[in-house]
A and B are shown apart, each in its own frame.
Chain A
Amino acid sequence: MPDVLPAKEAGFVDPKALMAIRNLELRARVVVEGFWSGLHRSPYHGFSVEFTEYRPYSQGEDTRYMDWRLYARSDRFYLKKFEDETNLRCYLLVDQSRSMSYCSLDYSKSDYARTFAATLAWFLNAQGDAVGLFSFDERVREYLPARHRHGHLRQLMLALEREPAGRATNLTEPLRRVAELARKRGLIVLISDLLAPVVELESHLARLTAAGHELVVFQVLDPNELAFNFPNAMLFQDVESEKDLYIDPEAARVSYQRRLQEHGEGVEAVCRKLGFAFHRVLTDRPLDLALLDFLRSRVRRGKLIRRRQQRVSK
């Protein structure tokens, strides 16, 4: 399948071609399989092994984690420590508000976000992690608890395939709801355009941090939302509020881009402050790369945690 699709970047699947595939599950599979097939080129191999450290055996400890091979080589007892990989719970928070329906390409931000969510779900499921879903607009529309069982991925794909129907983007209610429903600590992946005031965002994300969740934020934007390329002055209608404004793009572009940039920096600053990973993904970016971004953030996060644990043990 990847051979017949023109790749925008060498080795990566062109999003335009990918979106031509109607089936969401298929799209996710294309991305993940393509990703795996290219792993040998990736400098980040070994990430799926959640090995953390060797520790000398102390009497009375469970011998199940004894590394016998090492014992055979070195005649010493070492315990091999692993992360709780089967217990990784990942919740995908997918923004389904109307602002996500904007498209300057052949597909909308929402299409891209859902495909990305599906890709992540597929990937994590393949790893054996439990994946859950929150799709929201101004409130939570779909909720699937994080599970790893047969048929769960199928349900998740079906939930993601529903078209966005909500009106406004309001992170307050969905994030509060997520904090309530996701009792166990886990990984939360927020996929949204985040076109809402920064001030509110910080307080809600802080709540998730307090609940012990780890968060990765993907801001999905249309390329035209960054470039603001419109030929003529015209009436711009806000898809959410349906408010009209007469805007001359030539005159408004600079200030718009400045404000958007300031907003993005604000969100990023909030995430950095709370220790979250923040990625801005444009819808023309190959999903493989977006997935790679995700995995990189995971690795960085893993290193960070290990360094923190070492500091604590010292």
Chain B
Amino acid sequence: MNFLSPWFLLGALAVTGPILFHLIRRAARERTTFSSLLFLRPTPPKAVRRSKLEHIWLLLLRCLCVLLLAVGFARPFFAHDISPPSAASQERRLILLVDTSASMRREGLWDKARATVDRYLDKAALSDQVAVLTFDQQPRTLISFADWSAWSQDQRALLARQRLAAVAPGWMGTQLGLALTGAAELFRENSVARREIVLITDLQEGAKLDGLQGYQWPAGTRVIVERLPAKQQSNAGLEILEPPAAIAGVEEDVHVRVANSSDSRKEKFRLGWKGSSERMEIYLTRGQTRTFTAPKPPAAMKSGALELSGGDLDYGNVSYYVAPEIQHVKICCDGLGATNDPAGMLYYLQRVFPATPRRQIEFAQQLEKQDAFAVIATNLAPQEIAVWRDWLAKGKTALLVLTGAESGPTLAGLLGLPEAQVTEAGGEYGLLGSIDFQHPIFAPFDDPRFSDFSQIHFWKHRHWEIPASVKARVLARFDDGSPALTQIPVLEGNLLVLASGWNPTDSQLAVSSKFPPLLETVLDWSGAGAPVRFQYRTGDAIPSPVLVGAAVRWQKPDGKEITLAAGAPFTETDTPGIYRSSAGERERMVAVNLPLDESRTAPISQDDLARLGVPLGLDDEQSAAIARVRQQHLQDAELENRQKLWRWLIVAALAVTFGEIVLSGWLARRVTTTEATL
């Protein structure tokens, strides 16, 4: 016999009640009168011995009644051996999503992660399709479903382990939200009923959960979280902030943001530059993030590393630093007129390029080798043209302004052509007709708010035919179809040809609000612009220092060199350190650091994931056990409902109660009669 609510059987303990009452009886029948109770005090009740139990049948009936009620409430039933329906083995798609972010570098975590993956690989059924994805800032497919299917069944686990052995945690941040949604998207390709993502991670609080809120999970997806427990250790991390643009010439402080993990046990840390003995003590309570002013870097330090000591973990404790450099840009302005002549072009050019904290611009009339950029608005002699072409051959960029029909030889000379036809355009004025917003120069204007160039009137402009032999890219055309701004590669450099000037007699360009940003982008594109950032995080793409010209050679902190085409961003920022780039004569350094969030290593609760709508589930064994229990309970309830034994027990209890009443009544009468007889 089984019971649906066995805890009601505890009610059977109430059987002690009648037994006690029969033991501790006050013998109501034994009563005597006494002259006065003035000198008597009541005696507490005393249990009599078992042998003195009276009315044993009455006691048995009472106990039986209590027992029947207890058993009735426990809802008994007779279990039939109904074999549960055999669970049809369902095809399953399983994605093992393994965290390879920097926080997984902590002691022992990666081994645990691999062990967990091995466990799931071993448990995978033959019909299962398994994929293994790693993720840090973005998910990467290590083993795809296709790979798994292609492998022979007995080799799958082995091959998967081999591939996983080649992977190790990097230095990247954790984009957990992106990884989960990316993995879930893989399920949308087919209609397998069981879809499981096993998330193998340390679930650190610094993981980014963007994109999970409101995400529509594919139907049937379950996310099983295998949280890898890390040894609890105090950890704090730091990150040097990008220095804000200060006034030129003013020495800037280095600001550093320090975060203490919320499970940290230490609050006192020391901050100082590597190689320097000076240390600054800082206090940071658990879970707090604060910004400090770092100690002064050693004099004339171009790059260095700021260390944070005092934490238990040697992880995320160094932040690399590159001092912002001030770029000296020399622009050659040939034939642009006088400095203070508003009718000339130099007057406006000087005002477009004011000195900034990162850049100092010098305007020169004569071309020099170190000039970064040049504007030519004059007719050059053939020998000058040769000098200019040499200069362009170094990967430099020049802007040639066609000032009239006589500019033809200069254009032809610079392009290396025998001749070029430049004619003055007729008509009242010209407007810009079409603009190539795909080109980097016009790309910043590719927004309806900024893309309106139609208000700029060009009173005079020049026609010129692009020879078929020249590989040119027209960036803007006048409304009559003639090129307004054309980019022509010349040797290693670039020549931008503007078919009109910005002096007031030629156009309204100089007084347009588009003029300063346009020339700024031209300067940046040419590579002469000042860098914007010096501090990057691992995984960030570093923009190329030059957009055109010679290839850029990158050097990673470990000495590995990578050459990329000009304009191609450097993406292999997988290690914290100082990265160097050299393009032509120019060298630049940037610092790449571990994201500060990776230092926040305290684990978050799975409830946080559940709150964001992640369909958390249990692993197979647990869910099977729960399902078995649930199934058994349902089956029991059904059997009990059919048999309804409790009714009979309640009826029996009522009958016993009736019997007890009759018996006790009879006994009471008998006692009374006996007493009366006495």
Q: Footprint of B on A, CB under 8 Å?
A: 99-100, 102, 109, 169, 193, 195-197, 222, 225, 230, 232-241, 243-248, 251-252, 255-256, 259-260, 263
B33 at interface by CB-CB < 8 Å: yes
Complex-state Cα separation, A130 to B32, whole angstroms: 41
Q: Compute how far the CA of A236 lies from the CA of B27 in the bound complex, rounded to whole angstroms.
A: 11
Closest to A103 in B: B35
Q: Decide: A237 near B33, CB < 8 A? Known: A245-B42, A246-B42, A246-B43.
A: yes
Nearest-Cβ distance from residue B381 to partner chain A, whole angstroms: 137
Shortest distance from the beta carbon of A31 to any chain B beta carbon, whole Å: 24
Given contacts A240-B36, A244-B31, A247-B40, 15 further A-B contacts (CB under 8 A): A99-B36, A100-B35, A193-B36, A195-B38, A233-B27, A233-B43, A234-B30, A235-B26, A236-B37, A238-B36, A239-B34, A241-B37, A245-B40, A252-B43, A259-B38
Q: Is the CB of A230 within 8 A of B40?
A: no
Q: Judge whether A234 and B27 touch: CB under 8 Å.
A: yes
Interface centre among B32, B34, B37, B38 (most CB of A within 10 A): B34
Q: How far is the CB of B41 from chain A (nearest CB, A)?
A: 7
Q: Do B35 and A236 have beta carbons less than 8 Å apart?
A: no
Q: Which of A109, A237, A251 contacts B31 (CB 8 A)?
A: A237
On whether the beta carbons of B32 and A256 are closer than 8 Å, the reply is no
Cross-chain contact of B28 among A222, A235, A260 (Cβ < 8 A) = A235
Contact B39 A256 (CB under 8 A): yes
- B interface with A by C-beta (< 8 Å): 26-28, 30-43, 45-46
In contact, B41 and A255 (Cβ under 8 angstroms): yes
Asked if A238 and B43 sit within 8 Å, CB to CB, the answer is no
Checking A195, A222, A239, A247 against B42 with a beta-carbon cut-off of 8 angstroms, the contacting residue is A247
A245 near B37: Cβ-Cβ < 8 Å: yes
| Chain A: minimal CB distance from B484 (Å) | 120
Does B31 lie within 8 Å of A195, measured CB to CB?
no
Q: Tell me which residues across on chain B come within 8 A of A245, comparing CB atoms.
A: 37, 40-42
**B32: which of A193, A235, A255 is its contact (CB, 8 Å)?**
A235
Which residue of chain B has the shortest Cβ distance to A263 in the bound complex? Answer: B39
Contact between B39 and A259, CB atoms less than 8 A apart: yes
12 A-B interface contacts by CB (under 8 A): A102-B34, A109-B35, A193-B36, A233-B46, A234-B27, A235-B30, A236-B31, A236-B40, A243-B37, A247-B41, A251-B43, A252-B41
Q: Write the chain A residue with the least CB distance to B28.
A: A235
Say whether A232 contacts B30, CB under 8 Å: yes
Residues of A within 8 A of B31 (CB): 234-237, 244
In the complex, the 4 A-B pairs of residues with the closest C-beta atoms, listed nearest first: A259-B39, A102-B35, A234-B30, A248-B43
CB-based contact B40/A195 at 8 Å: no
Which of B26, B36, B42 counts the most A-chain CB atoms under 10 A from its CB? Answer: B36
Alpha-carbon gap, A265 to B42, bound state (A): 24
What residues of A have a CB within 8 angstroms of the CB of B37 in the complex? 236, 238, 241, 243, 245
Question: Chain A nearest CB: distance from B37 CB in Å?
Answer: 4
* Bound Cα distance from A247 to B42, whole angstroms: 5
Asked if A260 and B39 sit within 8 Å, CB to CB, the answer is yes
**Contact A252/B46 with A237-B31, A237-B33, A246-B26 known, Cβ cut-off 8 Å:** no
Asked whether, in the complex, the Cβ of A237 is within 8 Å of the Cβ of B45, the reply is no
Closest residue of B by beta carbon distance from A248: B43
**Bound: A213/B28 CA distance, A:** 48
Once bound together, how far apart are the Cα atoms of A169 and B46, in whole Å?
33
Cα A100 to Cα B43 in complex, Å, equals 25
Closest to A196 in B: B38
Min CB–CB distance A236 → chain B (angstroms): 5
Residue of B with least CB distance to A168: B36
Complex: how many Å from CA A225 to CA B36? Answer: 9
Is B35 touching A195 in the complex (CB atoms < 8 A)?
yes
Contact residues in A for B34 (Cβ distance below 8 Å): 102, 236-239
For A196, list chain B residues within 8 Å (CB): 38
Chain A residues with CB below 8 A from B42, complex form: 245-247
Complex: how many Å from CA A270 to CA B146?
A: 116
Asked if A239 and B30 make an inter-chain contact with CB atoms under 8 angstroms apart, the answer reads: no
